[in-house]
Amino acid sequence: MKNNVKLFLLLGDPVEGTLSPAIHNSAFRTLGLNNIYVPVKVQLDNLPEIVEAIRNLKVAGFNVTVPHKVSIIGLLDKLDESASSVQAVNTVVNRGGKLVGYNTDGEGALQNIQSKIGPVKNKRVVILGAGGAARAIAYSMAKAGADVTVANRTPARGKALAAIIRKRLRKKIALTPLRKPALKKSISSADILINATTVGMEPKPNETLVTADMLHPKLVVNDIVYKPMRTKLLKEAERAGAKTIDGLGMLVNQAAISFKIWTRSEPPVKVMSSAARKTLGG
């Protein structure tokens, strides 16, 4: 490697099939930056030693994905508000030896939806899920002024999410069971439905938590799952006459925000998006 090459990593397990290297390396190339982005499979037990190696090797920054988004927190020096608010990190920058954690998932999801349908302020949003991704999305939506309802399989996690938002934003979010009559009722008065669970992801592309009979034509349906791009939920939404937004936009937007944190350069979003699409084979 040349001396001035900056190294960026993705830490996760699994990392096979990730689109992030294609997205970031295409952006580095486009801007003529002498940087490289490499995925590294890291098991939970090895995370501390990998972070130690990152410090020693002066790695410039890294992404964190499943299952490390929460465990990484204790190994960092500082958290940005985007990460401390939802207690999950997906992006780390090395600032002169100090590792600072950010979360760009929520902002990425918000930017993607707003770029397609305009401001979410005062929109009624139902979010399925209360895991790391759902927490970040619910927080960004509530912060942007949306009226958020969360439905999660495990009610305690839904309650924990509501408590975070109440504490941080002084905003109340509603909780609804992930069961048909109650969920259908919440969706009937909603403007936007977001699936922030892993349901429908390959290798189980025929699963969905919500079917066409629970949807309506004025609804916008966004699935954060991007493998497959046209999920079962999005097919059900089309059947109901709803507008659909696939998961690739959020992936690209969160990557673009991370890219800006790392490089302080304006991300070439179109290049990043077509690299992601090409790698997916779409």
d(CA 159, CA 167): 12
Which of 12, 131, 267, 268: binder of ligand ATR (CB under 6 A)? 131
Binding mask 152-181 for ligand ATR (x = CB under 6 A): xxx--x------------------------
134 binds ligand ATR (CB under 6 A): yes
User: How many residues interact with ligand ATR (rule CB under 6 A)?
Assistant: 16
Q: In this structure, what token pair is assigned to residue 170?
A: 């002084």
- Please report, as residue ranges, which positions from 202 to 221 form the binding site for ligand ATR (by CB under 6 A): 209
Give the shortest CB-83-to-ligand ATR separation in angstroms: 13
Q: Which part of the chain contacts ligand ATR (CB under 6 A), choosing from 37-45, 107-115, 194-202, 239-247?
A: 194-202
Pick between residue 33 and residue 155 the one whose CB is nearest to ligand ATR.
Answer: 155
Q: Please, what is the minimum distance in Å from the beta carbon of residue 197 to ligand ATR? A: 3
Tokens 């927190």 found at? 73
177, β-bridge pairs: none
For 270, the token pair is 């179109």
256: helix, coil or strand?
helix
Q: Cβ closer to ligand ATR: 101 or 132?
A: 132
According to the binding rule CB under 6 A, does residue 258 interact with ligand ATR?
no
Q: Choose the binding region for ligand ATR from 32-40, 41-49, 125-133, 227-235 (rule: CB under 6 A).
A: 125-133
Residues 142/148, Cβ–Cβ less than 8 Å: yes
> To the nearest whole angstrom, how small is the minimum distance from the Cβ of residue 95 to ligand ATR?
25
Q: Which of the 8 DSSP states describes residue 217?
A: T
Nearest distance from C-beta of residue 136 to ligand ATR, angstroms:
8
The 8-class DSSP code of residue 257 comes to: H
| Cβ nearer to ligand ATR, comparing 69 with 123 | 69
* Minimum distance from residue 224 beta carbon to ligand ATR (Å): 8
- The pair of structure tokens assigned to 26 is 């295409």
Burial 228-262 (b: 16+ CB within 10 A, else e): bbebbbbbbbeebebebbbbbbbbbbbbbbbbebb
73 makes contact with ligand ATR (CB under 6 A) = no
Give the three-state DSSP class for 69: coil
Whole-number Cα distances in Å, 158 to 45, 162, 175, 197:
28, 6, 7, 12
Kindly state whether residue 197 participates in binding ligand ATR, applying the rule CB under 6 A.
yes
d(CA 78, CA 59): 16
243 binding ligand ATR? (CB under 6 A): no
Q: Mind telling me the catalytic residues?
A: 69
User: In this complex, which beta carbon is closest to ligand ATR, that of residue 60 or of residue 79?
Assistant: 79
Q: Are 221 and 243 in contact (CB under 8 A)?
A: yes
> Encoding tokens for residue 27?
């952006």
Nearer to ligand ATR, 60 or 162 (CB): 162
Question: Which positions lie near ligand ATR, rule CB under 6 A?
Answer: 66, 69, 129-134, 152-154, 157, 197-199, 209
